[in-house]
Amino acid sequence: MIDQQVAMQNDMPVSGQASGLNVGRTVIVAVIAVAIGAFLYFDLGQYLSLDALKQNRDQLLAFTESNYAASVAIFILTYIVVTGLSLPGAVILTLAGGFVFGGVIGTLFVNLGATTGATLAFLAARYLLRDWVEQKFGRWIEPVQQGFAKNAFSYLLTLRLIPLFPFFVVNLVSGLTRVNVGTYVAATAIGIIPGSFVYAYAGRQLGTLSSLKEIASPNVIGAFVLLGLLALAPIVYRKFLGKPA
């Protein structure tokens, strides 16, 4: 009888912890769903367009000059939210960052926001949205996992460098693989620098841009592809040597 009571007491905290974790996960998933729903319902995407950016550029510059620290915080937080929730508009935010902060500083702020948001999406896919991600992007998981098994850092770096791979898909699918968080963060932070700089620098010529296609020219895309192939060099080298990556 006493043994049974002790066993029941030992089981109660575990059960309570599991219940608390489930409630926490449910709340977080609900918040994510509400945030995405609000973005779509209120058509907030209209403010993350090239036309909207060009129309409001004077106000953005004036606000940034008067409230630089607040502008930096708002920009990075907005980038984190957009990237973390896999919402459209990251390219426009990068242009805006380059326009108001400059090419180099803008790239730095973009990198902070994008890497943080991508990591949050990665963690959400791994611990909260696994079933949904598997159902939605299941066909991507096996090829990505095979690449990570060879050399996780080099493969992920390639995925970041080559813009033909959707950024948000890489974020979510990576969460279902066995790549560790440190490798994911490092490869993401380094891999997005070239693309971020190209778009941030283009933001300095915002007034002359009429389409995003002008930025992603064949020459620029070709350069990204070459960088991506270069990132795969360690895998190819070790394969020829017959050593595991």
Q: How many domains does the chain fold into?
A: 2
- Over residues 65-121, the pLDDT tens digits come to 999 999 999 999 999 999 999 999 999 999 999 999 999 999 999 999 999 999 999
- pTM, entire model: 0.85
pLDDT (0 to 100) of residue 220? 65
**What's the rounded Cα separation, in Å, for the pair 201 and 50?**
15
What's the whole-number average pLDDT of the chain? 86
Q: Which domain holds residue 229?
A: 48-241
pLDDT (0 to 100) of residue 238? 57
Question: Residue 76: how many CB atoms within 10 A of its CB?
Answer: 21
Q: Is the pLDDT of residue 242 over 90?
A: no
pLDDT (0 to 100) of residue 217? 65
Cβ contact 234:140 at 8 Å: no
Sign, CA torsion 197/202/205/207: negative
Instruction: Supply φ then ψ for residue 43, to 5 degrees.
Output: 50, 50
Flag whether 99 is in a domain: yes
Q: Average pLDDT in the 147-151 region?
A: 85
Cβ contact 94:199 at 8 Å: yes
Place of tokens 């096996």: 142
Q: What percent of the chain has pLDDT over 70?
A: 79
User: Sorting pLDDT into bands at 50, 70 and 90, what band is 147?
Assistant: confident
User: Within this chain, do residues 110 and 32 fall inside the same structural domain, yes or no?
Assistant: no
User: Within this chain, do residues 171 and 55 fall inside the same structural domain, yes or no?
Assistant: yes
User: Within this chain, do residues 28 and 111 fall inside the same structural domain, yes or no?
Assistant: no
User: Within this chain, do residues 35 and 147 fall inside the same structural domain, yes or no?
Assistant: no
User: Within this chain, do residues 132 and 70 fall inside the same structural domain, yes or no?
Assistant: yes
Cβ contact 79:93 at 8 Å: yes
User: Within this chain, do residues 86 and 20 fall inside the same structural domain, yes or no?
Assistant: no
- Over residues 170-187, the pLDDT tens digits come to 999 999 998 999 999 999
Cβ contact 204:104 at 8 Å: no
